[in-house]
Amino acid sequence: MNTIYTVSNNIITSLGFSSNENFEALKKGVSGIKETSDPEITQIPLHVSQVDSERLNNEFSHIGNPADYTRLEQIMILSIDDAIKQTDINPESDETIFIFSSTKGNIDLLERNNLSFGEDRIHLWKLGEIISRFFHSPITPVIISNACVSGLTAITTGAQLLRKRKYKNAIVCGGDIISEFTPSGFQSFKAISPQPCRPFDANRDGITLGEGAGTIILSSEEKHAEESNPIIFRGGANTNDANHISGPSRTGDGLYYAIRNALADANKTDKNIDYISGHGTATPYNDEMESKAISWAELEHVPVNSLKAYWGHTLGAAGIVESIAGIYSIQENCLIKTLGYSEHGVSKRLNIITEYKETTIKNFLKTASGFGGSNAAAYFSQINND
Amino acid sequence: MENIISKYCIIQNRKVIVDGETQFEDKDNLEYGKLMKSIYKHYQIKYPKYFKMDNLCKIAFLGSEILMHDKENIKNIDPARVGVILQNTHSTIDTDKKYTNTIKDKSNYFPSPAVFVYTLPNVMIGEICIRHKFQGENACFISKDFNPEFITEHVNELLDEGKMDACITGYADYIDGKYKAIMFLVEKNKENRKDNISFKAKIIKNLIK
């Protein structure tokens, strides 16, 4: 099987418009979550992480006409554009496939009954078509809508396509925006915290939503990778809890199977993992389930965090932006603290990262879980380690 | 060895076709909900959760029930090695519209969790997994039309790499009263038989003509 290199990336969230800007904020412990009473989004005050609209408009106008693209399309196109500019990979080649992940796409058009972009524009296949056309891709893109694990499913699918040598490069981009749809839905479930979320904490009481996009470019060609010790995708897997459509497994079995299968895919037989980037949504059930799965996988000793208190739960982008943060943890040899966590609140003893720490990081495991009982895991490492 | 279609089911144009044979046909011009219910009854399915499902989940669920009917051998496979991988075109726009109606009027604002939970297309996969305890590979792909090339390549690779032993796969879609399910039970080939149908895009295109 050929090697899958992570070549370049971008993150756009409330914390900035590049991966670097975002990761600098994480290192300093800065959160982008703010309270809003915007009536377009919520009927009651809500904590949420939003992309700066003015900056979005300014930055996008350098590469396209903002009037021709929806908010989500602008965020995703900008994210991809920045990631492409860092490489010499050609998006117009038939050897480069685009892979998109989103839970709700242009859902704001439906809510506002906005037909100015045409009736088709609310559909996810159209979102993929618009974005891949912007970059003059000659290939039909792959689109994934797998709830909160969408981003990780997109990365594992991209890697799968490169392993089979069907394509040489995969531009994997995930994104979702905040409109009234998602906050009101999670509010109806009483799943949103009145404060910024507190992953794995004893007093956690729900999620904080976020918007944004993440792009990760994968390639099977060594020439596109960094010269010394590039970070590679080793393996990944997707599973199902088969328990409940809106609640996680009580035992953690589905996520445990995802971790087990991802490590098997990576041919990793030891437990020497330097870091786990958890899902950690801060709902009582999710974090408890995750602790059981990590314990079941005998990884309780591994430093683990959740980044949700920095940029919220970014849904279709989450698996990608959090994987990129993991890549930065390797490149900068540091671990980001779990913002919002103070008192241990899950039944298993996890090694939760409570302070920013500089230490050698050679690999990491990324996990995610979501509605529909979906789970995913992926393992990344430096090429000369593991 | 090639992977084979051990059963296939097509639900469209008021008909249920299983392995090429029309097993159900509606001649009363029933509306979608009633049509699905009569298919449910025809196959003597007993699963009360069905009645809570949204329109997309209903057709995908019925397709999977028809595939699994009399397939006792699948029960001998480790359920953690049975995957459910589906394609869809219109995501959950039908349910999204219903949900949006519950939040439109601010003086009558009742977002419904029971509707909201069905606003993700992969929930149809979750429903099938719950029914049979399947915990293997999962993914929901969105494409403008049913794309047999992509789905056969993806599913065959996962089977060939030993990541699963069987898979419920194919396509399910619902929008504005229009519906279509083209679903397959795909297994690893255990014995070479003349009537084996390999899980290939070209063959599928012939089956659905």
Interchain CB contact of A101 with B (< 8 Å): no
Q: Are B86 and B125 in contact (CB under 8 A)?
A: yes
Given an 8 Å threshold on Cβ–Cβ distance, is B139 in contact with A140? no
Given an 8 Å threshold on Cβ–Cβ distance, is B80 in contact with A105? no
Contacts of A104 in chain B (CB under 8 A): 96, 119
For the residues B119-139, what does the mean pLDDT come to? 98
Pick from A239, A245, A253: CB nearest B138: A239
Condensed to tens digits (0 to 9), the pLDDT of residues B24-60 reads 999 999 999 999 999 999 999 999 999 999 999 999 9
Interchain CB contact of A212 with B (< 8 Å): no
Which residues in A281-299 are b (16+ Cβ under 10 Å) and which e? bbbeebbbbbbbbbbbbeb
What is the Cβ-side half-sphere exposure of residue A104, based on CA atoms within 13 angstroms? 28
Beta bridge partners of A5: A219, A232
Probe site for chain B from A107, A245, A260 (most B CB atoms < 10 A): A245
Q: Report CA dihedral (B143, A150, A239, B167) to the nearest 10 degrees.
A: 0
Interchain CB contact of B149 with A (< 8 Å): no
pLDDT at res. A273 = 98
Condensed to tens digits (0 to 9), the pLDDT of residues A198-255 reads 999 999 999 999 999 999 999 999 999 987 889 999 999 999 999 999 999 999 999 9
How many other CB atoms are found less than 10 A from the CB of residue B26?
15
pLDDT exceeds cutoff 80 at A275: yes
Pick the residue from chain B with its C-alpha nearest to A189: B113
ipTM above 0.90?
Answer: yes
Helix (H, G, I), strand (E, B) or coil at B74: helix
pLDDT at res. B191 = 81
Helix (H, G, I), strand (E, B) or coil at B164: coil
Q: How confident is the model at residue B202 (pLDDT cuts 50, 70, 90)?
A: very high
Residues 133-152 of A with CB under 8 A from B: 140, 142-147
Q: Tell me the percentage of chain A whose pLDDT exceeds 90.
A: 96
Question: Could you tell me where the beta strands, DSSP code E, fall in A102-243?
Answer: 142-144, 169-176, 209-210, 212-219, 231-240
Give the DSSP H/E element, type plus range, for residue B104: helix B93-104
Q: Are A334 and A360 in contact (CB under 8 A)?
A: no
How is residue A166 annotated by DSSP?
S
Domains of chain A with bracketed CATH: 4-224 (3.40.47.10), 232-382 (3.40.47.10)
For the residues B117-141, what does the mean pLDDT come to? 98
Given an 8 Å threshold on Cβ–Cβ distance, is A143 in contact with B90? no
Interchain CB contact of B2 with A (< 8 Å): no
For the residues A38-42, what does the mean pLDDT come to? 95
Q: In the A/B pair of chains, how many CB contacts fall below 8 A?
A: 147
pLDDT exceeds cutoff 90 at A324: yes
Pick from A143, A181, A242: CB nearest B100: A181
Direct distance between the N- and C-terminal alpha carbons of chain B, in angstroms, rounded to an integer: 26
Contacts of A245 in chain B (CB under 8 A): 117, 123, 126-127, 130
Contacts of B144 in chain A (CB under 8 A): 125, 129, 140
Condensed to tens digits (0 to 9), the pLDDT of residues A164-205 reads 888 999 999 999 999 999 999 999 999 999 999 999 999 999
Residues 121-140 of B with CB under 8 A from A: 121-127, 129-130, 132-140
Please, where are the H alpha helices in chain A? 19-28, 53-61, 71-85, 107-111, 124-134, 150-163, 181-188, 253-265, 284-296, 308-311, 318-331
How many other CB atoms are found less than 10 A from the CB of residue B3?
23
How many other CB atoms are found less than 10 A from the CB of residue A48?
24
> Cα–Cα distance between B182 and B176 in angstroms, integer?
18
Pick the CATH number of B3-207 from 3.90.1570.30, 2.40.50.140, 3.40.47.10, 3.40.50.300: 3.40.47.10
Interchain CB contact of A166 with B (< 8 Å): yes
Q: How confident is the model at residue A295 (pLDDT cuts 50, 70, 90)?
A: very high
pLDDT at res. A86 = 97
Helix (H, G, I), strand (E, B) or coil at A124: helix
Pick the residue from chain B with its C-alpha nearest to A126: B144
Q: How confident is the model at residue A111 (pLDDT cuts 50, 70, 90)?
A: very high
Residues 57-96 of B with CB under 8 A from A: 79-80, 84, 89-91, 93, 96
Given an 8 Å threshold on Cβ–Cβ distance, is B130 in contact with A244? yes
Q: Domain residue spans in chain B?
A: 3-207
For the residues A94-101, what does the mean pLDDT come to? 98
Mean pLDDT of chain A: 97
pLDDT at res. A53 = 98
Beta bridge partners of B4: B187, B198
> Cα–Cα distance between B30 and B35 in angstroms, integer?
5
Closest CA to A374 of A315, A303, A320: A315
Q: Which residues contact A363 (CB under 8 A, 6 or more apart)?
A: A234, A272, A273, A274, A275, A330, A379, A380, A381, A382, A385, A386
Pick from B109, B127, B142: CB nearest A124: B142
Given an 8 Å threshold on Cβ–Cβ distance, is B89 in contact with A123? yes
Give the DSSP H/E element, type plus range, for residue B201: helix B201-207
How is residue B75 annotated by DSSP?
G
Pick the residue from chain B with its C-alpha nearest to A99: B141
> Cα–Cα distance between A22 and A16 in angstroms, integer?
5
pLDDT at res. A226 = 80
Pick the residue from chain A with its C-alpha nearest to B89: A125
Contacts of B130 in chain A (CB under 8 A): 242-245, 373
For the residues A50-71, what does the mean pLDDT come to? 98
Contacts of A122 in chain B (CB under 8 A): 93
Interchain CB contact of B180 with A (< 8 Å): no
Which residues in A201-228 are b (16+ Cβ under 10 Å) and which e? beebbbbbbbbbbbbbbbbbeeebbeee
Pick the residue from chain B with its C-alpha nearest to A123: B90
Probe site for chain B from A46, A124, A139 (most B CB atoms < 10 A): A124
Q: How far is A146 from chain B (nearest CA, A)?
A: 5
